[in-house]
Every structure is written in C-alpha cells, then in structure tokens.
C-alpha cells in the first residue's frame, strides 16, 4: 500500500529523495544506476538492511540468504530496501578478542544509519558481539529498528554422541591434555561439531543474546531458537522485512521498546535460560544507550529467585535445536508471565505486547524445558558478588558451577598475565592443588585490551591427570558463554585500572561465598595499602590507533564496557548536504 501524502512528509528519506532542486537530482540520479525506478524510493519507506555477514565470521556467513528474504518482505510491504555492510565481529577468528571491536562496530552502525537516507533498519546479527553492537548503534540512532538473528547451528554429533560448540571444545581439549583421547579423535570431533551454518548451538553468548533480542521485544517471536538451516528462519526474516515498513509508518522506535520493563524482562529471562554471563555486560551497555539506569544489583535482585528452566549446554544436556523443537523461548516467557515475573504489557517490535505473543505457547518436551514446579536448577540466575576483592562487583553463573565450591576458602595461585598462566598450567612443578583458587590479572577492558574470554582458565595438567575437573577461578576477564565451571568473572575495578585484584599475591586466602554474594580477600587494609604504595600500573598496550582510543575511553565492566562518550543517544537528525 502506498503512503498517503501526509506520511510522505514524515519520511526521513524524503530529505534526500523528495527535493526538486540540484541536490534532489544528485541523490536520485545516482541511485537510479541500480535500475530502480523513481517511484521505488520517492515517497516510500527506505529500509536499511544492516548486514554483519562475512566469510571471516563463519557464524554469519549465510546472511546473504537471510538478507534476500528481508528484502522480499520489505518490497512486499511497500518499502524500498537498501543493504549495507557493518564491521563483522567473528568470535572464533578475531584477535585479541572480538569484544575489543564491539564498540567500534556500534559506532559504524550508528553513523551509517544517521548518514544515509533511511527511515528504518533491519539488523542482521548472529555471532556474539554482532548482536549487542548492532543494538547499541541502532538504539543511539533511534530510528525504527528490528533485530533478526541468524540462528544456531544444528546439533553436533560425534560417534553417536551429541556434542555442543564451545562446551565440548573445552571438555575435549582437557581430555586431550589428560591423555584420555588421541589427536586423531580430537580432529575428527572438529568436523562433527560444526556441521551447518549458524552460530553456537549451545546456550552460549550468541544464543543468549538472540534470546535477549526476543525477551527485550526488539525482535520477532521465536527469534531465539529457529536453527539457521531451518526454512522457518528465512520466513521469520521475511516477516521482519514486512514488519519494519509498518514500524516506520507507526514511528515505533527502539526507545519505545527498550524500556525499563523490557530490560527487567530480559534479566529474568537470562536467569530462566541459564544464559551467558556476557549478557550482563552487553545489556548494561545497551541500556546505557537508551538512558536506562541498569546496574549489576538489578541482575541479582531480579534474577536471584528465578529458576533455570532450560536443560541446555553448558549447564545441562541439550542444544538449541532441541530447545526450538520443545517450544523455544515463548514457553519460558509464558512460564515467567504466569508467575508474575514478566511485565506483560511490554511492547514488542510486532506491535503486540510480549504477553500477547507468548500466552498460548506450548511446551512439547518437558525434559528440555522444565516446569517452574520441578525446575532443571532452582534459583540459578546470574549471581553478583561484592567484597573487598570486587568493590564494584563481579559475576558468577551458578547453573554452570560446582555446588561444592559455592562456599570455599582457598590459597591464591596468581598469574600476572595470560601468557604466564598458559605456561604455568602445564608445569608439573606449579605449587597448586585442587583446593587452591586460580587468580588471573590484567585481562579486563583496559588490560587485555578488550576483556577477552580467558577467565575459564584451563586446569593444571597434573590435576587433570588426577581427575580434577573444576576449581575456583577468579579474574577481571570474561569467559565464553559456552564455558562452564566455578568461574568468577568481570571483577571490577580491573587490575590494570588499579582495582584490588592487582594487589593479590600468591598464598593469600580468598573466600568465595556465593549464597552470601561475597568475594573476600583475607588481607588487612594496612597490608593492602602497603602493597598499593609500591604497585605500578603496566605499560599501555597501544600508543596509537583504535586500541589507544579504546584503552583511553572504555568504561569498566560494571558499566557495560562501553565508551564514555557513547553513552546515550543522538537520534537521527538529517545531516547537512554533502555538496
């Protein structure tokens, strides 16, 4: 259906294409070289398809097909689609860490949206950091936007066993180091694990953030779990293409959807799915872009009493394909809503409330999605720890930790760098036993830089051979959402910024008490002051370029590790003419 004359006046793109002067000629003429007639883009909503696909990002390599289905949907609804690229953040290939470039990609998205003749945008995202980067950028530009995730891979199958990306990489690498499997078996499993397009099929960060897109309401229902190889993923993309045209006509923007209630729904959903700790830092950053004062305390307060309902790796047995067949995220959202743990009136991108979207959801496999009365794991939301070792907070994922280590005091074995740690864990002379607590420094936002996923330190080889499979590990780093273990992460302030973590020495006693939400270093204040007096910060990792910009301006983990100058939004004012 064509827009009415009144609608045409409100379309942002008409500041480019609706003019009858030199600049109107300029803007229209060059677009016509693609073969598009003038009536395709003059007076119709112009929709950007923000594509983070790249062959350098295997998880997003199939996005060309998804973009085509979005394009069909936009055209069917009377819009004009224009695809544009954005920095693609490949978690599996980028060094030193894709997280270093999340903020850069968000700037790319924001400025591309603002600089071009767009009325709305469809965000194609999949691999871990592409989702928050695109949401952050779109939120700051605040044009109508809808998220479309690329979908998880099919489940891995190795010698008749179900294996999951990331989770079994970790377990099998430890089996290899312990001498339990051969290098030939290790290589065989590599091909069996990743056998289709899509992102990690465990409840890692990619699947968690796809779930957050759905729980926040910025994506379509069922966005989280449809496998990438399933035709229904393409159908969802086409429906999103149709819907974004309607959103432009309704002027439904991210700021209308990403409300305080939406973030509270997402936090409780994060607990109910046993989601990745990385979602904490990403949700904090997204909230900062829309002016929502979200804090670490909100994650503990809202998620603490929520049961984990989903039996998925790394916390459980199943994979995202199974989750989708069992009913997917709508089943979890319905369970939360029935117990007063969901703001039912929260608006979503399809124009309906979140409760309207999920109230009829059915569970088809109660092993995969358990009931609230008999949950997979009770009260297993992300726990936020504080204490003299983490004054501004730290996080732990109880659903992936060992119950016997949730209250424990142990001797610190300290590594000043990730290189030192990797060397030491294979040294049989390392003074460590299973009761010790491994402490890794200088891997936070400034210290790595980029806060890499190295917090789930490999266990010492000699302990693996003794059958040890978990120990307490503490760091200012992150860990992959596919990882598991009793791992304390995101310690803030980080060591490189002079946080108390920098002062820990070998032999210090540390107490982790998750039920009490405490992380305590048993060193008195006078001794800590003496240590601080002789402590010197490490030399910066960069003297120029983007890495220097990052180090100079990144906020700490408890504030989302965004740049200090990016918090908030500019909106979408039409820039000056270019000629």
Predicted confidence band of residue 9 (pLDDT cuts 50, 70, 90): low
For 456-559, list the strands marked E by DSSP: 472-475, 487-488, 509-513, 518-521
* pLDDT tens digits, one per residue of 443-464: 999 999 999 999 999 999 999 9
CA nearest to 459, candidates 512, 385, 533, 405:
405
State whether residue 208 is helix, strand or coil: helix
* pLDDT tens digits, one per residue of 500-533: 999 999 999 999 999 999 999 999 999 999 999 9
Predicted confidence band of residue 15 (pLDDT cuts 50, 70, 90): very high
* pLDDT tens digits, one per residue of 21-61: 999 999 999 989 989 888 888 889 999 999 999 999 999 99
Mean pLDDT of all residues belonging to the chain: 95
Residue 256 clears pLDDT 70, i.e. is over it:
yes
User: CA torsion angle for 553, 490, 299, 459 (degrees, to 10)?
Assistant: 160
Q: Would you say 152 and 59 are in contact if contact means Cβ atoms under 8 Å apart? A: no
Residue 8 clears pLDDT 50, i.e. is over it:
no
Which residues are paired to 219 by β-bridges? Answer: 147
Q: What is the pLDDT of residue 82?
A: 97
Q: Would you say 240 and 73 are in contact if contact means Cβ atoms under 8 Å apart? A: yes
Cis, bond preceding 314 (omega within 30 deg of 0): yes
Q: Would you say 306 and 268 are in contact if contact means Cβ atoms under 8 Å apart? A: yes
Token pair recorded at residue 111: 């400025």
Mean pLDDT for 543-565 is 97
Q: 146 — phi, psi (to 5°)? A: -140, 140
Residue 439 clears pLDDT 60, i.e. is over it:
yes
Q: Tokens 């004009």 correspond to what residue?
A: 80
Query: Could you give the CA distance from residue 46 to residue 10 in angstroms, rounded to a whole number?
Result: 12
Indicate the angle between helix axes 296-303 and 278-289, nearest 10 degrees.
120
- Cβ-Cβ contacts under 8 Å for 220 (sequence gap 6 or more): 146, 148, 214, 236, 239, 240, 243, 349, 350
9: Cα within 13 Å, side-chain hemisphere: 3
Query: Could you give the CA distance from residue 283 to residue 289 in angstroms, rounded to a whole number?
Result: 10
Q: What is the pLDDT of residue 381?
A: 83
CA nearest to 121, candidates 286, 252, 292:
252
Strands 437-440 and 407-415: parallel
The pTM of this model reads: 0.96
Query: Could you give the CA distance from residue 262 to residue 258 in angstroms, rounded to a whole number?
Result: 6
CA nearest to 176, candidates 137, 184, 40:
184
Query: Could you give the CA distance from residue 81 to residue 67 in angstroms, rounded to a whole number?
Result: 10
DSSP 237-271: HHHHHHHHHHHHHHT--HHHHS-HHHHHHHHHHHH
Q: Would you call 393 exposed, middle or buried from its count of C-beta atoms within 10 A (0-12, 13-18, 19+)? A: buried
CA nearest to 537, candidates 441, 473, 457:
441
**Could you count the other beta carbons within 10 Å of the beta carbon of residue 174?**
17
Mean pLDDT for 295-309 is 95
Residue 327 clears pLDDT 80, i.e. is over it:
yes
Query: Could you give the CA distance from residue 426 to residue 275 in angstroms, rounded to a whole number?
Result: 31
State whether residue 416 is helix, strand or coil: coil
Output the 3-class SS for 482-499. Answer: CCCCCEEECCCCCCCCCC
**Please, where are the H alpha helices in 362-470?**
418-424, 461-465
At residue 100's C-alpha, the angle toward residues 94 and 106, to 5°, is: 105
* DSSP character at residue 215: H
Output the 3-class SS for 161-179. Answer: EEECCCHHHHHHHHHHHCC
Token pair recorded at residue 578: 């270019």
* pLDDT tens digits, one per residue of 84-114: 999 999 998 899 999 999 999 999 999 999 9
């Amino acid at each position: 259906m064509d827009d009415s004359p009144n609608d045409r006046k409100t379309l942002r793109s008409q500041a480019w294409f609706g003019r009858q002067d030199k600049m109107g000629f300029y803007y229209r003429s060059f677009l016509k070289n693609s073969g598009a007639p003038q009536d395709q883009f003059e007076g119709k909503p112009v929709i950007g398809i923000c594509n983070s696909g790249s062959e350098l990002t295997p998880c997003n390599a199939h996005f060309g097909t998804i973009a085509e289905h979005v394009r069909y949907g936009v055209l069917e609804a009377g819009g004009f689609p224009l695809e544009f690229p954005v920095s693609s953040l490949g978690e599996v290939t980028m060094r030193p860490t894709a997280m270093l470039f999340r903020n850069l990609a968000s700037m790319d998205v924001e400025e591309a949206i603002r600089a071009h003749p767009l009325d709305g945008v469809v965000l194609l995202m999949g691999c871990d950091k592409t989702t928050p980067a695109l949401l952050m950028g779109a939120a700051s530009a605040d044009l109508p936007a809808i998220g479309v995730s690329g979908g998880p891979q099919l489940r891995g199958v190795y010698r008749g066993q179900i294996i999951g990306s990331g989770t079994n990489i970790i377990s099998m690498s430890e089996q290899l180091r312990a001498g339990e499997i051969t290098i030939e078996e290790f290589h065989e499993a590599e091909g069996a694990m990743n056998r289709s397009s899509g992102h990690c099929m465990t409840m890692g960060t990619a699947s968690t953030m796809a779930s957050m897109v759905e729980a926040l309401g910025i994506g379509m229902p069922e966005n989280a779990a449809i496998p990438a190889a399933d035709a229904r993923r393409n159908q969802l993309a086409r429906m999103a293409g149709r819907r974004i045209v309607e959103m432009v006509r309704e002027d439904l923007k991210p700021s209308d959807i990403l409300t305080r209630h939406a973030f509270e729904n997402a936090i409780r959903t994060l607990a109910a799915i046993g989601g990745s700790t990385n979602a904490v830092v990403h949700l904090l950053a997204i909230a900062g872009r829309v002016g929502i004062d979200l804090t670490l305390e909100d994650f503990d307060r809202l998620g603490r009493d929520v049961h984990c309902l989903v039996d998925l790796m790394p916390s459980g047995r199943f994979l995202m394909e199974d989750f989708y067949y069992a009913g997917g995220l709508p089943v979890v959202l319905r369970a939360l809503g029935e117990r007063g743990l969901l703001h039912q009136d929260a608006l979503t991108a399809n124009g309906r409330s979140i409760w309207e979207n999920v109230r009829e959801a059915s569970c088809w496999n109660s092993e995969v999605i358990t009931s609230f009365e008999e949950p997979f794991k009770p009260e297993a939301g992300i726990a936020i720890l504080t204490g003299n070792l983490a004054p501004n907070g730290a996080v732990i994922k109880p659903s992936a930790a060992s119950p016997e280590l949730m209250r424990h005091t142990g001797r610190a074995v300290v590594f000043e760098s990730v290189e030192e740690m990797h060397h030491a864990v294979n040294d049989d002379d390392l003074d460590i036993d299973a009761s010790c607590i491994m402490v890794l420094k200088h891997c936070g936002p400034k210290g790595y830089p980029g806060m890499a996923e190295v917090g789930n330190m490999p266990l010492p080889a000699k302990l693996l051979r003794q059958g040890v499979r978990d120990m307490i590990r503490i760091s200012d780093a992150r860990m992959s959402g596919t990882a598991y273990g009793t791992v304390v992460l995101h310690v803030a302030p980080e060591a490189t910024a002079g946080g108390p973590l920098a002062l820990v020495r070998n032999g210090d006693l540390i107490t982790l008490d998750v039920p009490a939400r405490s992380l305590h270093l048993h060193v008195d204040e006078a001794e800590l002051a003496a240590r601080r007096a002789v402590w010197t910060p490490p030399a910066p990792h960069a003297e120029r370029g983007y890495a220097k910009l990052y180090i100079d301006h990144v906020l700490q983990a408890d504030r989302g590790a965004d740049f200090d100058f990016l918090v908030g939004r500019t909106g979408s004012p039409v820039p000056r003419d270019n000629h």
